[in-house]
């Protein structure tokens, strides 16, 4: 009976798998996120990071590639750059054999470094492609988001890196270079990725708008650039959401601001006025309203910060307030209650600014 059931399940599951595979792959090609669709395909397409591109291009021409360490804020082209370079080096066929890509979603304790990375590093490779063209006689191991690797795992990597230097190059990618242990950083050529300039972001966004046949206002693109703060991935993701919500309609500045979850400047002004002149009861209601509206406390915090800097307050007041902001920011990232944190910040603003009166 069991054998029969087993046989039956095997028979029925196989064709089912095939059936589901068909439409799902079709769907995937249709609904690719734009960040992936418009990822630079070759190193030349990477905008604004001229220094890195120049070095990589040299090594693409045949010089040797050093171990690399890319660091910089998110959405500035780190992952795209190394993937594009690897594709150019090896071509689409060899790429799979020669490049091992591990990112933060993979388990990356010491065990993985010992087994997966080491085994891959030990494979030797030839200096030609199947199509006869020359290619570099080494493999590349990309460790994306390396700052989330544990220190022992990083230490284990150190030996592997040195021992396998004849056949393997490493590319470590991280946001914060201070979280990579010194012995690793000293074995790599370091490249800092800069936040993208507004004009560069604008060009890429306009290119996408053009290819996707979107209707948009000039202000909406400027707003996208402003809310994404140098992170092109964020800007492209917002653009795609805005396009989904405004099919056949123009994308406006308002739509962008809504999607990005920016608090209306009037609301921020109002809150500050209450801090300066109002009472604690009023303040409590205003903060409660804002949090109930669903605005993220981190967003309110960053807008309050911008606005406090520009207010006509004494240096002492400003420094006391911004110091409190740093504490609130840390508490929020540790998971503290949003309402209480906002209220405590606003109380400090109130206290500081009312001392003179």
Residues 6+ apart with CB under 8 A from 145: 103, 104, 173, 174, 175
Minimum distance of ligand ADP from residue 47's CB (angstroms)? 4
Q: How far is the CB of 195 from ligand ADP (least distance, A)?
A: 10
CB of 57 to ligand ADP, least distance (A): 15
Q: How far is the CB of 305 from ligand ADP (least distance, A)?
A: 24
Closest CA to 284 of 330, 243, 212, 344: 344
Shortest Å distance, C-beta 189 to ligand ADP: 17
Interface positions with ligand ADP (CB under 6 A): 35, 38-40, 46-49, 74-80, 196, 204, 232-233, 236
**Residue 35 interacting partner from Mg ion, ligand ADP, none (CB closer than 5 to 8 Å by kind):** ligand ADP
Return the structure tokens found at 82. Answer: 């190394």
Q: Please give the torsion angle defined by the CA atoms of residues 327, 332, 333 and 335, in that order, rounded to the nearest 10 degrees.
A: 130
Q: Which does 39 bind (CB under 5 to 8 A by kind): ligand ADP, Mg ion, none?
A: ligand ADP
Give the range of 78-86, 87-95, 121-129, 279-287 binding Mg ion by CB under 5 A: 78-86
259 binds, among Mg ion, ligand ADP, none (CB under 5 to 8 A by kind): none
Taking the complex as a whole, the smallest distance from the CB of residue 234 to ligand ADP amounts, in Å, to 9
262 binding partner (options ligand ADP, Mg ion, none; Cβ < 5 to 8 Å by kind): none
Report, in Å, the least distance between residue 52 CB and ligand ADP.
Answer: 9
Residue 60, exposed/middle/buried by CB under 10 A (0-12, 13-18, 19+)? middle
Among 49, 67, 76, 79, binds Mg ion (CB under 5 A): 79
User: Among 2-10, 76-84, 205-213, 230-238, which window interacts with Mg ion (CB under 5 A)?
Assistant: 76-84
User: Least separation, in Å, of the C-beta of 138 and ligand ADP?
Assistant: 22
CB of 39 to Mg ion, least distance (A): 10
The sign of the CA dihedral 164, 168, 169, 170 is negative
Q: By beta-carbon distance, which residue lies closest to ligand ADP?
A: 77
Is there a contact between 158 and 184 (Cβ–Cβ < 8 Å)? yes
Please identify, using beta-carbon distances, which residue of 70 and 90 lies nearer to Mg ion: 70
How many residues interact with Mg ion (rule CB under 5 A)? 1
79 or 154: CB nearest ligand ADP: 79
Residue 99 contact, options ligand ADP, Mg ion, none, Cβ 5-8 Å cut-off depending on partner type: none
Judged by beta carbon, residue 35 or residue 177, the one nearer ligand ADP is 35
Q: Determine, following the binding rule CB under 5 A, whether residue 246 of this chain makes contact with Mg ion.
A: no
Site for Mg ion in 7-36 (CB under 5 A): none
- Of 74-82, 110-118, 147-155, 221-229: span binding Mg ion (CB under 5 A): 74-82
Closer residue to Mg ion (CB): 79 or 341: 79
Using CB under 5 A as the criterion, which residues of the chain lie in contact with Mg ion when the complex forms? 79
């Amino acid at each position: 009976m069991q054998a029969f059931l087993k046989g039956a399940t095997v028979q029925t599951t196989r064709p089912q798998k095939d059936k589901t595979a068909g439409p799902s792959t079709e769907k995937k090609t249709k609904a690719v996120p734009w960040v992936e669709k418009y990822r630079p395909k070759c190193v030349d397409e990477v905008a604004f990071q001229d220094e890195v591109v120049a070095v990589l291009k040299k090594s693409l021409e045949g010089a040797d590639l050093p171990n690399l360490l890319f660091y910089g804020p998110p959405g500035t082209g780190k992952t795209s750059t190394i993937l594009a370079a690897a594709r150019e080096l090896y071509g689409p066929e060899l790429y799979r054999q020669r490049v091992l890509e591990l990112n933060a979603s993979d388990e990356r304790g010491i065990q993985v470094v010992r087994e997966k990375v080491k085994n891959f590093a030990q494979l030797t490779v030839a200096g030609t492609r199947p199509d006869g063209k020359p290619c570099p006689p080494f493999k590349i191991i990309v460790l994306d988001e390396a700052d989330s690797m544990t220190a022992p795992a990083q230490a284990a990597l150190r030996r592997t890196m040195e021992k396998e230097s004849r056949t393997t190059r490493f590319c470590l990618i991280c946001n914060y270079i201070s979280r990579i242990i010194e012995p690793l950083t000293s074995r790599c050529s370091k490249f800092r990725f800069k936040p993208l300039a507004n004009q560069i972001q604008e060009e890429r966004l306009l290119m996408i708008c053009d290819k996707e046949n979107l209707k948009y206002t000039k202000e909406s693109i400027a707003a996208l650039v402003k809310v994404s703060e140098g992170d092109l991935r964020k800007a492209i993701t917002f653009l795609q959401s805005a396009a989904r919500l405004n099919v056949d309609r123009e994308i406006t500045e308002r739509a962008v601001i809504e999607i990005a979850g920016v608090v209306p400047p009037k609301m921020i002004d109002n809150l500050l006025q209450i801090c300066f002149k109002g009472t604690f009861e009023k303040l409590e209601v205003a903060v409660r309203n804002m949090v109930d509206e669903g605005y993220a406390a981190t967003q309110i915090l960053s807008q309050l910060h911008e606005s406090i800097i520009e207010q006509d307050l004494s240096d002492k007041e400003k420094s006391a307030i911004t110091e409190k902001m740093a504490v609130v920011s840390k508490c929020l990232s540790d998971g503290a209650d949003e309402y209480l944190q906002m209220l405590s910040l606003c109380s400090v603003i109130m206290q500081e600014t009312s001392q003179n009166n």
